[in-house]
Amino acid sequence: MANEPGPGQGPSVRNWIALGILLLSALAITVLACVAVQADNSNALTIFNTSLPVFASWVGTVLAFYFGRESFESANSQMRQLISKLSPEERAQAPISNIMRKLNDTVHQKLERSDQLSELDLKQLRDRLTTTVSRLPVIGPDLAPRLLIHASAIDKYLASGGKDSDSLATFLSSMAKEGMGFEVGQGFVLAAAGETIAAAKARLESLPMCQDIFITQQGKSDEPLLGWVSNIRLSKYLQP
């Protein structure tokens, strides 16, 4: 994607389009006013009042397009600066839902039935995990959180002799014998959407095996999963 011209590189095409439409609108309104005045005076005001909102909407659209992005970027920059001025302790008093990745924005596995664990094989799950997506939430038919599978755990299982054709149920059973779990309390902790980041962080740190926070409306395991926060995302947000 080409970079937009910087401050010293001259006006962009968008600048010229905006300026052209504004000038054209102003010229059209002026011409219309002159024509209306020279025509039948009884209809002049009606014509002018009918046409003016059309040109005004054109101008408004151009201005919204031209300045909307800059205004958004400016507001976003100011917000980032404001957040950066807060101490980690102050930031930790915000709701955990403020920094979660929404479920729809994540790669996840939804079960069509509660007993589908024996039908999903590891290859299906591993193929969804990449170098940038290393954790896979598994949710039930009701969208309630069930598991959080790590790519490293699957790789460890395969390296120790497991097969990628093995079912998820077989994998979970085998890993449980080694003391590794992926359910609530082992693979992740739950937090209510309105709970503070500090409270959710404390719960996460109380369970060393857990690295992620799953957020539901009331923090209950039978509620739909709204989003989640990894330990990495949490640390970045709270870093000084």
Residue 227 predicted with pLDDT over 90: yes
Provide the domain count of the chain.
Answer: 2
State whether 107 and 186 are in the same domain: yes
Question: Is 197 part of a structural domain of the chain?
Answer: yes
Residues 61 and 95 in one domain: no
Q: Confirm whether 8 is domain-assigned.
A: no
Mean of all residue pLDDT scores within the chain? 83
pLDDT of 8 strictly over 60 = no
pLDDT score at 201: 95
Q: 85, 120, 140 — which closes off a domain?
A: 85
Looking at the structure, tell me whether residues 66 and 117 fall in a common domain. no
pLDDT at 5 over 60: no
pLDDT of residue 177: 93
Cα distance between residue 226 and residue 44, in whole Å: 59
- Asked if residue 94 and residue 81 are part of one domain, the reply reads no
Per residue in 97-126, pLDDT (tens digit) is: 999 999 999 999 999 988 889 999 999 999
Residue 138 has pLDDT above 60, yes or no: yes
Based on the fold, state whether residues 77 and 146 are members of the same structural domain.
Answer: no
Mean pLDDT value across residues 171-178: 94
Domain housing 143? 90-238
Choice between 171 and 7, residue whose per-residue pLDDT is larger: 171
Which of the listed residues 44, 66, 85 is the one where a domain comes to its end? 85
Q: Where a domain ends, among 85, 120, 143? A: 85
